[in-house]
Amino acid sequence: MRHRIDVRAEAGFTIIEVLVAIALFAIVVLVILAPLTGLFGLSQKSAQQTSATGLAQQAIEQIRGQWLDANRYGSNCVVGTLPATVTVQDEDSQGNAVVPNSLPAFAQTTATTCPTTPASGIPTVSGPALRKITAVATVNGTISTLVVEVARP
């Protein structure tokens, strides 16, 4: 007695089955990779935001450090150059600019000398009791704004 074996049953996958499997695999890959590419963009944006915030913080700390001297604080003076991508505005406690239209002490090239408190310790220049500094830093289109209030020393 002879048994006939159906050759087609053992041949493997048909072309339709292979195409359907490839299509399903492509859909799964797209569903998984689409959010990951967005995640990489967020990571880059986060790095730019961190860099901009660091620059603004650097400018504020430079100003606050020099304003520990009462005469520098009173004369609104900062020695040195602020980071190029940072703009700083000095305001009173109500948010009004201390020097209308321009702030020469906060120009990109600042004063080279400032009055300092004499050895007697008594300042010759006084300023407002509280100043508000707004530093705006930009890195690749990402803007970071920091606002800090500085008390008179």
Q: Where are the domains of the chain?
A: 12-151
Q: Provide, rounded to the nearest whole percent, the portion of the chain with pLDDT above 90.
A: 25
**Angstrom distance (rounded) from CA 34 to CA 85:** 34
Average pLDDT over every residue of 77-83: 78
Q: What is the mean pLDDT of the chain?
A: 79
Residue 82 in contact with residue 111, Cβ under 8 Å?
Answer: no
More confident residue, 68 or 41: 68
What global pTM score does this model have?
Answer: 0.64
